[in-house]
Structure 1
Amino acid sequence: MQLDATTLKVTIKTVVNEAIDEHPTIQRMGSEIGELKSDVSVLKSDVSELKTDVRDLNSRFEVHARTTNYSINKLHDSVHKMSVDMEEIKSGLNKVIEIVMPSKIREEQYDRMERRVENHDHRIGALEVKIRDRVGGHERS
């Protein structure tokens, strides 16, 4: 017996349909395969969104990294400049101290001398009073 192509297709389809009807598990599997295809489609869409998000995050990260590096470099420059300025201030203060210290010491010496003169003036004044008292006392006698 020889079958033509159309008859063969119909026969195969019939056998497959009967097998599906006889095996509910196969029907469930077909249904699950359909669901899996749908899930795969959703996952592909999610993966595409994630790729876009990752590209966006990478772009933001690159901008942030450049900005951070720029800020760090500016901060480093500022710290270096501040260090140089502090050295200049220190040098200037040392010069001022060199200039002011001798005058400060002279000023302290003048103060001491003035106090000594004042003390001497007081002593001389006290002696003058004593002398006047004695001389005045002898003159009165």
Structure 2
Amino acid sequence: MFVSDQAVNESRDGSLKKPFESVSNALVALDHIERPIQFERTIYILDQEYHASVSINTQNRSIVLKSGLNIDQETKLANKVRWTTEQNDEYLLYFNSGILTLECFHFQYTKRDSQVNPQHNLIFAQPLVDYYYITYNHILLVLCN
């Protein structure tokens, strides 16, 4: 799946030519794809900057969010997407449950009209509590800062 806020003349289907407008829209689409639970679902953010908060609840499925397909010719690594929000959000990424990999992002606070956003943490992972045991969310950060 691909995400970009660039204008698209046709309806968005998550393909490279017609990417979804937001990670949230891509997550909804991935929920409707029938694949075995152990297969990861990858979302590429194609823009140099991404300006939105995202709430992720993947249950037991593996979700991978990656920087776009642009490669730095000097380092041979993917260019990092600068992830910010100018909204009055508490977090850039609220992770409720599941398995999540974030690859090649630069998470950043912003300040607008003396308001720092997001208001709390850049990433928040909610621990899951059951009556009999505590389960943990799994987050892997690769080349992120």
Q: TM-score, normalised by structure 2?
A: 0.14
Q: Which structure: greater helix fraction?
A: 1
**Larger Rg over CA atoms:** 1
Q: Which has the higher contact order (CA 8 A, sep 6+)?
A: 2
Q: Which structure: greater strand fraction?
A: 2
